[in-house]
Chains A and B, each alone.
Chain A
Amino acid sequence: MTAVDVVLLLLGALAAGSGVLVVTTRRLVHAALWLVVTFGALAGMYLVMTAELVAWVQVLIYVGAVVVLLLFGIMLTRAPTGRSDDLDSGNRPAAVVGGVVTCVLLVTLAGYGFSSAYADLDTGRLGTARAIGTVLFRSWVLPFELLSVLLLAALVSAIVLSRRRES
């Protein structure tokens, strides 16, 4: 077990722990702030796995924009600084079942699907912008473009939905 493994495990524990805090905290804003820690830890894990670009994009998009959007929404709609006890939706058993099932499914899928997909982190720099760009626009260009069309469709439909009807 190398130092990198230890760091990875610690970051994973941090991400999981703050993730639990996100759903258990009684203060809505704290949930969003714990989410920052979770995303930060995730970015750290990407970094440890040499996926530099993904790590920075994670920070830029999720910490910098998504969480700020969340905070904006929370502060705009309900801004109590104290605790709110109505945050518990009472779906705890269902949530636990859902979480465990998702976890098992993901671990199994990843285990079976990618058990032979190894990447040697020491030789090449797989996570650099150049490497990811090359792969993205050579091997995976079709799914990538499909995804971008999907996102564009979502964007346009959001604009359409939010526009006032002229009556």
Chain B
Amino acid sequence: MNVAVEVAVRVVLVFAAFLLFPLVVGYMEHKAMAHMQGRLGPMYAGGFHGWAQLVADGVKFAQKEDIVPADADRTVFKLAPWIALLPYLLVLVVVPVGPGGLVGSDVDAGLFYALAVMSVGVVGAVMAGYASANKFALLGGIRVAAQLMAYELPLVLSAVSAAMAAGTLSLGGIVGAWRPWWLAWQLLALVVFLVAGVAELRRPPFDMPVADSEIIFGPYTEYTGLRFALFLLAEYAGIVVVSALATVLFLGGWKGPVLDAQLGWLWTCVKVLFVAFVVIWLRVSFPRLREDQLQRFAWMGLVPLALAQLLLTAIVKVAIS
């Protein structure tokens, strides 16, 4: 009985975080991007600085007509947004928020679990690209697939570097072993992880699959209403997940300057939001790469960097043990 209640509480909390954090990040994107471009962003919805803009957007999406193109593969078309969204929810379950088991579920090989489940989300975008019966969507789908294959490798390699340094695959264990000087030791891995993560999320400057100025909106071209909202939610949930993983792997999770035990969850939230801000910052600052530059950058730039970091990690690890 007690266990059931605890599980229920954990599930509810994770679900609440899953619903809340993407909205916070989305709002932050609205505001940060607006101010970086010398605008104000949403100011009216909800009264205070447009805080309810995304809620209003959700209401708008819910009212829209639900359209499935005539030639679309209906089942796959309808399934795709859920496939894209759900993995991020499942990843959030294993992200440790604070010390002492403040985590949805402590999986032993948590790192592998997170990376594995995250990569499933891409299948949703590929499905959407195929099922829409639209050549732009198809192009987008192909680009999604190509991009995933290119960036999955540096992502995993850089994450492995952190796991190697900590000597465990458990996300909680990695945070536990983390020391501030790792920031310098794992700096390269952090950069590679962030870049590959942004690419895996298909966020600018790596948003070739959805490049709206050339292939309309890639795999999401034919989507409207609630399904489109699900894709958008998936994008923001993806930012949260990548930021959370970067926080846990490289930034020391709940470890802060003071009061780790009491305020651990706060440190985690602050770090996650900061990384999310960096992701948004990159989006505003840099133009989109070309598709071939994107692939070249992954294979010729990130993979060697990640391997070099792996080597460095191994050398330092052996040296200090």
Option from B73, B115, B122, B123 in Cβ contact (under 8 Å) with A81: B73
Given contacts A56-B109, A79-B138, A128-B109, is CB(A65)–CB(B149) below 8 Å? yes
Chain A, interface size category, equals 20 to 34
Chain B residues within an 8 Å CB radius of A79: 130, 138
Chain B, interface size category, equals 20 to 34
Asked if A69 contacts B76 (CB within 8 A), the reply is: no
Provide the main secondary structure of the chain A interface: helix
A162 CB to closest chain B CB (Å) equals 13
Q: How far is the CA of A159 from the CA of B96 in the complex (A)?
A: 41
Q: How far is the CA of A67 from the CA of B148 in the complex (A)?
A: 11
Q: How far is the CA of A36 from the CA of B124 in the complex (A)?
A: 11
Stretch at the interface among A16-24, A26-34, A102-110, A136-144: A26-34
- What 1/0 mask marks residues of chain B from 89 to 116 whose CB sits below 8 Å from any chain A CB? 0000000000000000001110011011
Closest to B125 in A: A68
Asked if A129 contacts B108 (CB within 8 A), the reply is: yes
Asked if B123 contacts A36 (CB within 8 A), the reply is: yes
Chain A residues within an 8 Å CB radius of B71: 81-82
Chain A residues within an 8 Å CB radius of B73: 27, 29-30, 81
Chain A residues within an 8 Å CB radius of B45: none
Stretch at the interface among B139-147, B189-197, B285-293, B301-309: B139-147
B1 CB to closest chain A CB (Å) equals 18
Identify which of residues 117-146 in chain B touch chain A, using a CB-to-CB cut-off of 8 Å: 117-120, 122-123, 126-127, 129-131, 133, 138, 141-142, 145-146
Chain B residues within an 8 Å CB radius of A82: 71
Given contacts A81-B71, A81-B72, is CB(A56)–CB(B126) below 8 Å? no
Given contacts A72-B145, A72-B146, A79-B130, is CB(A56)–CB(B122) below 8 Å? no
- Can you name 28 A-B pairs with beta carbons within 8 Å? A29-B130, A30-B73, A33-B76, A33-B127, A36-B120, A53-B112, A56-B113, A58-B116, A59-B117, A59-B119, A60-B115, A60-B116, A63-B116, A63-B120, A64-B148, A65-B119, A68-B123, A68-B126, A68-B145, A69-B145, A69-B149, A71-B123, A71-B126, A72-B145, A72-B146, A81-B130, A81-B131, A81-B133
Interface residues of A (CB under 8 A from B): 27, 29-30, 33, 36, 52-53, 56-60, 63-65, 67-69, 71-72, 75-76, 79, 81-82, 125, 128-129
